[in-house]
Structure 1
């Protein structure tokens, strides 16, 4: 397995991130049609990612050239409260690898780089969330050293 080149995305990478997001969006729409649109407008999706890439505290990591995967990360800080101590965390909001590029170490390389980013930002922890039905992702995240932290339940009124 060859080393995977990882770089930080810039404003000009929004369209590439939008393309990489398409299969993830499709999976979510197929499994949770009440919560996701199957095919968002490509221009709107690119604009969304352009906005996210411009936000302070947001880092998008791109893997490969051309990009075959990405991890969208945001720094979150919660101050001291009566309930809990302060925490500084890196939230991995998206991890996506193009289907044709899977099982080549790209996802692992993205998470390794996210860990390095978290250390560089002085984060106390790294969190990510995943949908209940995404069992392949669960196994991958556990193999990368992530452990289940909490669960979210849903009901209709």
Structure 2
């Protein structure tokens, strides 16, 4: 297995869409009150626009010319208010490795690539969110050195 990472291209849309569905189904099992099983997160047109936008870089892990993982990122500029230091963040909106390829360090390779990219564009940090109950993802991110920055709480008002 010889994994390379590069920016996503239009030719990657079909495989990326399949992987997005894997993530959606996981989230729909965790939070059926929020996520709708069997739907899609992005249309083909939306993916094309995201892939071509430098503010939303998407990276794909490639093995033998096949997409086996992705990292959707968003460049965010701080501050949100006048009481915060001015800095740039790379937010990982979504990271997925094909369920048939897990356990082969592809996620780590993708994550390290994202870190290096973030450093190269002058980011202060890399952030992401993990849904409560997604214990495998949380364990992975802790293993690669991430830690909790803040906690988002909710109350459901049915």
Q: TM-score, normalised by structure 1?
A: 0.91
- Specify the SS of the correspondent of 2:94: strand
Cα distance per residue 1:73-109 (max 9 Å; x no partner): 1111014843211120000000001111000111000
Which residue is equivalent to 1:30?
Answer: 29
Which residue is equivalent to 2:69?
Answer: 69
- Specify the SS of the correspondent of 1:56: coil
Q: TM-score, normalised by structure 2?
A: 0.90
Deviation at 1:11, TM superposition (A): 2.8
Q: What is the distance in 2 between the residues matched to 1:12 and 1:67?
A: 10
Superposed CA RMSD in Å reads 1.7
Is 2:57–2:73's contact at 8 Å kept on the other side of the alignment? yes
Q: What is the distance in 2 between the residues matched to 1:103 and 1:26?
A: 20
Is 2:92–2:126's contact at 8 Å kept on the other side of the alignment? yes
Aligned residues: 155
Matches within 5 A, 1:14-93: 14-41=13-40, 45-64=43-62, 65-79=65-79, 81-93=81-93
- Specify the SS of the correspondent of 1:24: helix
Deviation at 1:112, TM superposition (A): 0.5
Which residue is equivalent to 2:130?
Answer: 130
Is 1:17–1:49's contact at 8 Å kept on the other side of the alignment? no
Is 1:14–1:47's contact at 8 Å kept on the other side of the alignment? no
Q: What is the distance in 1 between the residues matched to 2:81 and 2:21?
A: 39
Deviation at 1:57, TM superposition (A): 1.0
Q: What is the distance in 1 between the residues matched to 2:69 and 2:20?
A: 9
Q: Which runs of 5+ in 1 are unaligned?
A: none
Q: Which runs of 5+ in 2 are unaligned?
A: none
- Specify the SS of the correspondent of 1:118: helix
Which residue is equivalent to 2:6?
Answer: 7
